[in-house]
Structure 1
Amino acid sequence: MFVTITVLLSIATSIVMAQPRVLVFTATTGYRHDSIPDSISALQARSGTDGVDFEFTEDPTRFNGDELGRFDGVMFLSTTGEGVLDSSQAQAFHTYLQNGGNFVGVHAATDCLGGEDWYVQTIGTRFDYHPELQPATFIPLNKTHPSMVGVPDRWTFTEEVYNYRSDPRNVGAQVVLTVDESSYTGSSGSSGNYDQGVPHPIAWYITDSLGAQPPTDGAPGTGRSFYTSLGHLSETWQDPTFMGHVMGGLKWALESGTTRWTNGTALVGAVQPQNSNTSAGSSVSSTMGTSTANGQASTSVSGTGMATSTSVSAGPMSSTPANSGIKDGSAVGKTAAVAGAIGGVIGLML
């Protein structure tokens, strides 16, 4: 009986500790970055080591209540143009955020859906312009935030330095990365007389997004938002420091305690499996949509390049510093979920 209980406890623990699922959206109706395929490959390569299920798409029809409800987070990766979502799809995404879904924006994600005030409040601001691509030196402002772990005090590489139409701090953003404005040559390409605040914002997080207010009745709260303006070049996505920056911000967002990964009462998030065939109790399924002329996905491609899904064993997500702004409910939610599953198994045995 002891052996049986031990096995069942192991299964129960693996069930509740299965990894979160993230939908990565790469559709464009404006400028399209050459780095998008390489950024997808880079995220696929990190899925196993970082314990995150990624699904990649350019199909806006996936932005509906049922489909979005399967995900603990949505990442907009170099999305450009006002038409990446129509009004009903945008409303479904807004509702997802109000239901507790988490959001991550990368690079040109500030250059889409500018007419949706809730989206601008969720991501923090709107893109204005950037000077020519050139080396610049970036400076961490908060070395304890998970997105900044491993980032040097002066981080120099070739990048587009984004400027914005408003200060993201006006909507509650905490800026974690700035740029030394003397390290690059600026330009006067602004479309207006905008104030983005000082120090120059480059990456930031928002704990309770104004764009997701008010939360849906029954939701444990609104999710988190993280944005970085970095990521223009393919070579940047090969840099371990940059990948640690992106994955650290993503994992911080996922630990909001407002989705099913950490909260069994949440309204959205990956439905945890009833059984597991992997030793770690988790799997990775990465699908990538190939672009058609209208920017929608036409096929699904796994990490092996085949038109199928693939599963690989993945380790748990790493813990984050106690002073990084993470809600206490995240860890409590995991503990309670494990305890509940264990209690249920023991109850069946008795």
Structure 2
Amino acid sequence: MISLRHTLLPLLVLAIVGSAVAVAHGADTKPKAPDRGPKNLGSVLVFSGTGWYRHPETVAVSGWLARLSGDLGMQVDVSETPKDIESILPKYKVLVLNNCTEMTALFDAKQMKAVEDWYQKGGGIVALHASLVRQTNWAWFNELAGCDFDSDSEFLPARVVVDPAAKNHPAVKGAG
């Protein structure tokens, strides 16, 4: 008969040594959280071309973003020219759409496809305020944004759907 001491002691030693090795190994290989500060955001393109209504604050917002970028040590370029979006977009990590109404009046199908492909490869899009106005003819963007509207109105009935994994995020806490 094998004694309990002879069976458990080697298992206990193995468990302790194995745990110590795993902890020590984990300390060496645990990846650091990425620095998501503005200096590591990458280059940002603020695009403010409009195909319909031009919001009166569009120029001021573009200027403010450009000045803020200098204070934060990040690169921000501003453009209103849709013709070269295909060639310049790949050098940016973020596209800020500053009040870009009815982009289908600005972009042809090839330019819209370039934006879609760039996004699918990991680019980020931030749509400010009126950038969701009259985007009905660009199904991909309408789906991405989750809505489309014709113009400002006093009140619009809406249903807010919040991803359950994000329900405690300050931006949506208590909504949905």
Give the structure-2-normalised TM-score.
0.63
Measure, in 2, the Cα distance between the counterparts of 1:168 and 1:60: 32
SS at match of 1:69: helix
**What's 2:139 paired with?**
117
TM superposition shift of 1:18: 5.8
Pairwise mapping of residues 288-327 of structure 1 onto structure 2 (< 5 A)?
Answer: none
**What's 2:161 paired with?**
169
Residues 44, 77 of structure 2: 8 Å contact kept: yes
Pairwise mapping of residues 183-202 of structure 1 onto structure 2 (< 5 A)?
Answer: none
More helix by share: 2
**What's 2:52 paired with?**
30
Structure 2 residue aligned with 1:76, among 97, 102, 108?
Answer: 97
1:206-242 CA distances to partner (integer Å, 9 max, x unpaired)? xxxxxxxxxxxxxxxxxxxxxxxxxxxxxxxxxxxxx
Structure 1 residue aligned with 2:79, among 45, 53, 57?
Answer: 57
Aligned length: 133
Does the C-alpha gap of structure 1 residues 107 and 114 become closer, same or farther in structure 2, counting only changes over 3 Å? same
Pairwise mapping of residues 94-243 of structure 1 onto structure 2 (< 5 A)?
Answer: 94-132=116-154, 163=156, 167=159, 169=161, 176=171
Please say which structure displays the higher CA radius of gyration: 2
Measure, in 2, the Cα distance between the counterparts of 1:129 and 1:34: 14
Does the C-alpha gap of structure 1 residues 52 and 171 become closer, same or farther in structure 2, counting only changes over 3 Å? same
Amino acid at match of 1:32: R
Measure, in 2, the Cα distance between the counterparts of 1:172 and 1:42: 34
More strand by share: 1
Measure, in 2, the Cα distance between the counterparts of 1:80 and 1:173: 31
**What's 1:44 paired with?**
66
Measure, in 2, the Cα distance between the counterparts of 1:38 and 1:84: 21
Is 1:20 the equivalent of 2:12? no
Measure, in 1, the Cα distance between the counterparts of 2:47 and 2:56: 15
Measure, in 2, the Cα distance between the counterparts of 1:86 and 1:76: 17
Measure, in 2, the Cα distance between the counterparts of 1:120 and 1:111: 10
**Could you list the runs of 5+ residues in structure 2 that have no partner in the other structure?**
1-38
SS at match of 2:71: helix
SS at match of 1:33: coil
TM superposition shift of 1:129: 4.7
TM superposition shift of 1:50: 2.5
Q: Whose RCO is larger (CA < 8 A, sep 6+)?
A: 1
**What's 1:329 paired with?**
none
TM superposition shift of 1:170: 8.1
Does the C-alpha gap of structure 1 residues 30 and 172 become closer, same or farther in structure 2, counting only changes over 3 Å? farther
Measure, in 1, the Cα distance between the counterparts of 2:163 and 2:90: 26
Amino acid at match of 1:79: C
Amino acid at match of 1:39: V
Amino acid at match of 1:47: S
**What's 2:114 paired with?**
92
Residues 36, 78 of structure 1: 8 Å contact kept: yes
Amino acid at match of 2:88: E
SS at match of 2:96: strand
Does the C-alpha gap of structure 1 residues 167 and 34 become closer, same or farther in structure 2, counting only changes over 3 Å? same
Does the C-alpha gap of structure 1 residues 168 and 108 become closer, same or farther in structure 2, counting only changes over 3 Å? farther
1:176-232 CA distances to partner (integer Å, 9 max, x unpaired)? 269xxxxxxxxxxxxxxxxxxx75xxxxxxxxxxxxxxxxxxxxxxxxxxxxxxxxx
Does the C-alpha gap of structure 1 residues 168 and 26 become closer, same or farther in structure 2, counting only changes over 3 Å? farther
SS at match of 1:169: coil
SS at match of 2:46: strand
Measure, in 2, the Cα distance between the counterparts of 1:57 and 1:77: 10
The share of aligned pairs that are identical, in percent, is: 23
Residues 124, 168 of structure 1: 8 Å contact kept: no
Amino acid at match of 1:88: K
Residues 133, 151 of structure 2: 8 Å contact kept: no
TM superposition shift of 1:112: 4.0
TM superposition shift of 1:91: 0.6
Residues 43, 91 of structure 2: 8 Å contact kept: yes
